[in-house]
Chain A
């Protein structure tokens, strides 16, 4: 068949199983857009290319499939950058396709020419520049393979306009990937597994640390079996939320900077850490030299460069978590650890007086209450995408996920503005799911323009804005560490309910605790997307908090209100 590079591209994408592409057109992608018509792939027109990558990223995180973003050369491509790094930091499989000026013009500072492969070199798992139409099929195939295998990540393909335009005789053929330097499928030696079994057998105070790798590997059932068989409590990283059911007695909650006190205490007192698909980020470990000082550490990760990177471990097992646990499980003995579990229960009881949910009604609307109510009204079953800041941490603390792939947030990069577009992508991946966004007033304004995308696509998402009039998380640091000097953190917002109305959506404003549930129920019942503007307590803080580079059990705790305490 005689096909243009652009037509070949769409067919290759289709062969990779792509159903939806998030993009924005321009001069250097005109041939690609012209050929879109004859493809069954659905194209979602975004309002900013950053949104396109976040959508592809949200799509990938919600489904485990590869998300695709498409942008034109120059400014289109540079607008992708924040999205690409967000996906890169959180190991999300995204393929970005950018148009490039015709190949004879490359290097001449042509109109909208940007060295995109140069710019994205350190922020992609791999990238390609295609100048020859014949390379399109094999590179697209390779790109999808690399993005989705091993430790997933974003891959960018920059395609010159002449390569898109050229017509060649072409027929799709099955392809094999030849990448001599790429080893996504390593596995540990059997004597290392035996060593792990032994360490697990002698442990008295084990704790499992689950990270996003559990979700990537699809090892939820194996982790569950491992935890229950060895009666090991389970702590989660921010990105691991949902990989272990929050309603299970062995589940502790989130660890780290804003982890629950008892979770961090458990880690600090453990004699064995079982790190499953997590990377000991500084937000998790606090000051490294004080981290889990009495624990032996077993680290299972698919990326060999993570072993001994942040924390020196006693045993590193490199490979797919699910496979490794499948090998370990038959060799693991059942255990009780009753004493250890009751010690943890004690820490939990101590913390409960500081839990805002247990505090007396004081007429204030706390974001924690709102998120707790959203959790209650959705039976903990919604797909929740949070933005970045206090709202994100409260969501992590108060929305308790029992299902995998239902908690989506930007962890490694902490990208404000991620929430709305990522939720749009997630909704495309799982249209049957009830999707909620929990965002701050600041972050929401960063990508608010994607509301029009929601309208154009006619999709249903519920948006809860924790409107505290501040860039709250930064304000919190100013309160704690800069003597309440709130420099540039008070922020004015538009009336979000009216913003919703301007888009033909429904907007609700909530100022009192008793209005919360009604508003949530109303949003759930309406067919269109809804924004609820929750006017929450302005100067609330996320507790507990580990100051940066402190030990994770030296936390700033929520002050216990005197009146409450005495009762």
Chain B
């Protein structure tokens, strides 16, 4: 079963290492990891996907909270959410199949971002299913290289990661942490 964790962390050296250590120590294999800045200066957002049937996966959140630099963590696996992955694929082309590949890209609403005499770089963004089926379609032409950003995710609706974890667990927070928008 795949779990998607979203965390807000202080943007400081070594923080990613600490977060990843929580998974490493408990021998979870991280399937994808995406880190970037948020609208809050000094705060980064991490999305981590792990595929695990271990029950300890539920314990990840309390362990993550032990890290001083982790501000907020959520497992949004069961929440309505939007997930996106960006992929760039460098594919072999010949003068015969080039327009065929470009048409396929069009169908998937992918973009051609680089054209060379016998290769193309195609960029596609979407949820996992869409991205995977596009990659499958390209495979027969010969994929030379591929890169994925890893999954990023956001809850649908007005719910945000800023919702209070401890509140939901029944522990009262001493101070409200509010983030200016």
Contact = CB atoms under 8 A, between A and B. Distances in A.
Interface of A: 117-118, 121-122, 125-126, 129, 146, 179-183, 185-189, 192, 303-305, 307, 309, 318-319
Nearest to B18: A121
Given A122-B25, A180-B10, A305-B65, 19 more contacts: A121-B17, A126-B68, A129-B14, A179-B68, A181-B67, A181-B70, A181-B72, A185-B174, A186-B171, A186-B173, A186-B174, A187-B171, A187-B174, A189-B170, A189-B172, A192-B170, A304-B62, A304-B166, A305-B66
Contacts of B169: 304
B25 A188 contact: no
Contacts of B174: 183, 185-187
Contacts of B166: 183, 186, 304
Contacts of A319: 171
Contacts of B88: none
B121 to A, nearest CB: 34
B49 interface: no
Contacts of A121: 14, 17-18, 21
A190 B9 CA distance: 30
Interface string B81-92: 000000000000
B65 A304 contact: yes
A125 B171 CA distance: 22
A192 B66 CA distance: 23
B59 A181 contact: no
A318 B71 CA distance: 18
B21 A187 contact: no
Interface string B33-77: 000000000000000000000000001001101111111100000
A122 B10 CA distance: 18
13 contacts: A125-B68, A179-B68, A180-B71, A181-B9, A181-B65, A181-B70, A181-B71, A182-B68, A186-B174, A187-B171, A187-B172, A305-B59, A307-B62
A129 B13 CA distance: 10
Contacts of B69: 181
A118 B10 CA distance: 18
Interface in B62-121: 62-63, 65-72
Interface of B: 9-10, 13-14, 17-18, 21, 25, 59, 62-63, 65-72, 166, 169-174, 177
A185 B166 CA distance: 12
A173 B164 CA distance: 34
B170 A303 contact: no
B163 to A, nearest CB: 15
Contacts of B25: 122
B68 A146 contact: yes
A315 to B, nearest CB: 10
Contacts of A186: 166, 171-174
A181 B68 contact: yes
A319 B169 CA distance: 13
Contact of A305 (B10, B62, B173): B62
A83 B21 CA distance: 21
A144 to B, nearest CB: 13
- B9, B13, B14, B70: which has the most chain A beta carbons within 10 Å? B14
Contact of B171 (A117, A146, A179, A304): A304
Contact of B10 (A181, A189, A318): A181
A357 B59 CA distance: 45
Contacts of B10: 180-181
A117 B14 CA distance: 9
The 8 closest A-B pairs by CB, nearest first: A305-B62, A181-B71, A126-B68, A318-B171, A185-B174, A186-B171, A181-B70, A182-B68
A185 B21 CA distance: 25
A125 B172 CA distance: 23
Contacts of A181: 9-10, 65, 67-72
B157 to A, nearest CB: 25
A189 B172 CA distance: 6
Contacts of A318: 171
A536 to B, nearest CB: 40
Contacts of B177: 180
A179 B17 CA distance: 18
A343 B178 CA distance: 54
A188 B174 CA distance: 10
A146 B65 CA distance: 14
Contacts of B18: 121
A250 B5 CA distance: 47
A327 to B, nearest CB: 12
Nearest to A306: B62
Contacts of B14: 117, 121, 129
Nearest to B13: A129
Which residue of A122, A181, A182 has the most chain B CB atoms within 10 A of its CB atom? A181
Contacts of B21: 121-122
B36 to A, nearest CB: 18
A385 to B, nearest CB: 28
A319 B174 CA distance: 10
Nearest to B66: A305
Contacts of A309: 59, 62
A212 to B, nearest CB: 17
Contacts of B68: 125-126, 146, 179, 181-182
A188 B9 CA distance: 25
A508 to B, nearest CB: 47
A121 B25 CA distance: 11
Specify which of A129, A192, A305 lies most central, judged by the most chain B CB atoms within 10 Å of its CB.
A305
Contacts of B170: 188-189, 192
A251 B167 CA distance: 37
Nearest to A146: B68
A429 B106 CA distance: 74
Nearest to A186: B171
Contacts of A192: 170
A125 B70 CA distance: 13
Contacts of A179: 68
Contacts of A303: 66
A447 B91 CA distance: 64
Nearest to A185: B174
B19 to A, nearest CB: 11
Contacts of A125: 68
Most chain-A CB neighbours within 10 Å: which of B14, B25, B69, B170?
B170
Nearest to B25: A122
A303 B65 CA distance: 10
A122 B66 CA distance: 11
Contacts of A118: 17
